[in-house]
Amino acid sequence: MFLKPVTSLDAWGALIYAAKVGHNYLGPLFVLGLLTMLIKWFKNNLFNKVDWEWFKQGGGILPNGKHPQAGFCNGGEKVWYWLLATAGVVVCVTGLIMDFPIFGQLRSDMQLANIIHAVFSLGLIAAAMGHIYIGTAGTEGAFEGMATGYVDETWAKQHHGLWYDEVKDLPENQAENQVGSDRSNA
Ligand code: HEM
């Protein structure tokens, strides 16, 4: 929509064709990636009483200044997990229905799948914008945690205190000023 008026019709056509074909092939890889993450982090994302407190305190952004407790994942991270486990799976299933028209699905089924796919995927993109902000500029130290797999002890205590208590005495975590356990493997 934005590029069409400022590019040649040929360049615009080539670009959207490449985007469409790229999406057709990358979609199934997204399915594998999503399923791997959902399986890997399932046990860390079951809700418990601690999360209820986390929600009551607005995840720490309310003006009363309290920083709610959290384990490996906090309440907000768990909501994002379950959004991906539901809406994300809908996007995958409808994508596969469109990608592989070899299971007897009708054109009308694929049209319906296209509409559901567009609504859920755009909803996920909107939520992802907030998620990306919180995971980078919005929370000091979060980006370094993702990039290196390590967080420092103060950050661990502040943001995931219950997880910190669980892992702080493990032998591999005795290096000075570091919680040396890779959060992605905990
Ligand atoms: C977050 C992930 C995804 C986003 C944001 C996304 C977004 C979209 C959007 C906006 C469309 C166009 C809908 C319309 O016609 O208005 C589309 C079409 C499509 N998507 Fe996805 N999608 C995602 C994941 C997937 C996956 C996982 C698959 C396959 C497994 C897939 C396969 C397709 C196919 C086959 C089409 C139809 C392309 C065509 O028109 O020929 N998508 N997607």
Q: Whose CA is nearest to atom 13 of ligand 1?
A: 118
In the chain, what are the domains? 7-139 (1.20.950.20)
- This prediction has a pTM of 0.85
Q: What is the pLDDT along the chain (186 residues), one digit of tens a residue?
A: 899 999 999 999 999 999 999 999 999 999 999 999 999 999 999 999 999 989 988 888 777 767 788 999 999 999 999 999 999 999 999 999 999 999 999 999 999 999 999 999 999 999 999 999 988 888 888 889 989 988 989 999 988 999 999 998 888 887 655 554 455 544
Instruction: Give the tokens for residue 35.
Output: 């399923």
pLDDT (0 to 100) of residue 185: 47
**Which atom of ligand 1 is found nearest the CA of 124?**
1
Ligand 1 centre distance from Cα of residue 43 (Å): 29
Q: Whose CA is nearest to atom 40 of ligand 1?
A: 20
pLDDT (0 to 100) of residue 65: 66
Integer Cα distance of 144 and 61 in angstroms: 21
Q: State whether the beta carbon of 84 lies less than 6 angstroms from ligand 1.
A: no
Write the CA distances from 32 to 28, 92, 95, 141, integer angstroms.
Answer: 6, 10, 13, 29
